[in-house]
Amino acid sequence: MKRLLCILDSLDTGGAETFMMKLYRKLDKEQYQIDFVVCKDGFYDDEVRKMGGKIFVIPLRTKHFFKSFSELRRIVKENRYKSVLKLGTSPIVVFDLLAVKFGGAKKICLRSCNAPKNVRIKQKIIDFALRPLMNRLTDVKLAPSDLAGRYTFGDKLYEKGNVILLKNALDLEKYRYSEEERIKIRQEFGIGSGFLVGHIGRFVPQKNHKFLISIFAELKKCNPDSKLILVGTGPLETDIKRYCDELGVGESVIFAGRRDDIPSLLSAFDVFLLPSLYEGMPNTVIEAQASGLLCIISNTITKQADVTGGVKYISLGESSKEWARCVLEAKDKPRMENGKKMREQGYSIEDSVRLFVERCYE
């Protein structure tokens, strides 16, 4: 059996982590296994262990640099890992790559996870200084989209074709629309037949929740029976709840928390809304399209996210009123059947698993 070591902050429910779990579940575990290095406990820990994966916990690099470096090198060396995959965005990950190199890794892979906007000058300087070494150390350069690939590895390498697009694929049948699941979720939250806007994402600045709430407040003026469901947790959750009350929509906004039944929730939604400040390649938009949903998203997000033609891009410079108008336009449009289109575009998880195994295992 070949084993690969994957390094990430935690096995939580973020987009990159969730995609790794989708890959992991579909691996032939008699031939391939994934072990993980994390800095804290996560949502998927128990599932990983049940599938035979090991989880190593090391100190957070930003707080305990030398101990983190030493522990990572030791784990690779003592367990004789030949293939290592790091999930990250900034070239600052070079220190983890050096640690695994010194530990004896033969194939070092890096998958970009995001494409931040308005990066501070100090960070740009650090990225510029570290990117050449990072690129030399990385044998396999992966990204979910053009924007993520360009941000992490640089425009030149991306344009030369040295960055492999490992798409945020999924089990298309699992995410297919289900009327039964729609009814079940709507009964759970007492929604009935009203217009339901859905959003999935952590409560962090990147996801732009305040603007999302202001869009919903405008929508309520035109369509009073509308409801909004927010799936996820995060440090800004309390602030967003308070903001909902300030705008007078608190009773119409459902805070669903962290969930493991995303396909069912997507079946319950009528439209998916994502006004993020930036994204690498939003897993949630791919999942929403697999469920046949129309998606209203910010134009800061890569055009590659529109796999089916069911995505509408709007500038963040537009007013919340204009966004609300676009959301309302989607109200009476029929749900789509997107499985065939997504399979043709390479978004079946089986395709990504084949590419992952081919490129990342020594």
Q: pLDDT tens for the chain, 362 residues: list them.
A: 999 999 999 999 888 999 999 999 999 999 999 999 999 999 999 999 999 999 999 998 888 999 999 999 999 999 999 999 999 999 999 999 999 999 999 999 999 998 888 788 988 899 999 999 999 999 999 999 999 999 999 999 999 999 999 999 999 999 999 999 999 999 999 998 899 999 999 999 999 999 999 999 999 999 999 999 999 999 999 999 999 999 999 999 999 999 999 999 999 999 999 999 999 999 999 999 999 999 999 999 999 999 999 999 999 999 999 999 999 998 888 999 999 999 999 999 999 999 999 999 98
The pLDDT, as a whole number, for residue 274 is: 98
Domain boundaries, the chain: 2-169+347-360, 179-344
The pLDDT, as a whole number, for residue 173 is: 95
pTM (2 decimals)?
0.91
The pLDDT, as a whole number, for residue 198 is: 98
The pLDDT, as a whole number, for residue 288 is: 98
Which H, E and C letters describe the chain, residue by residue? CEEEEEECCCCCCCHHHHHHHHHHHHCCCCCEEEEEEECCCCCCHHHHHHCCCCEEECCCCCCCHHHHHHHHHHHHHHHCCCEEEEEECCHHHHHHHHHHHHCCCCEEEEEECCCCCCCCHHHHHHHHHHHHHHHHHCCEEEECCHHHHHHHHCHHHHHCCCCEECCCCECCCCCCCCHHHHHHHHHHHCCCCCCEEEEECCCCHHHCHHHHHHHHHHHHHHCCCCEEEEECCCCCHHHHHHHHHHCCCHHHEEEEECCCCHHHHHHHCCEEEECCCCCCCCHHHHHHHHCCCCEEEECCCCHHHCCCCCEEEECCCCCHHHHHHHHHHCCCCCCCCCHHHHHHCCCEHHHHHHHHHHHHCC
Domains 2-169+347-360 and 179-344 agree in fold: yes
CATH 3.40.50.2000 describes domain 179-344? yes
Please give the class, per CATH, of domain 2-169+347-360. Answer: alpha beta
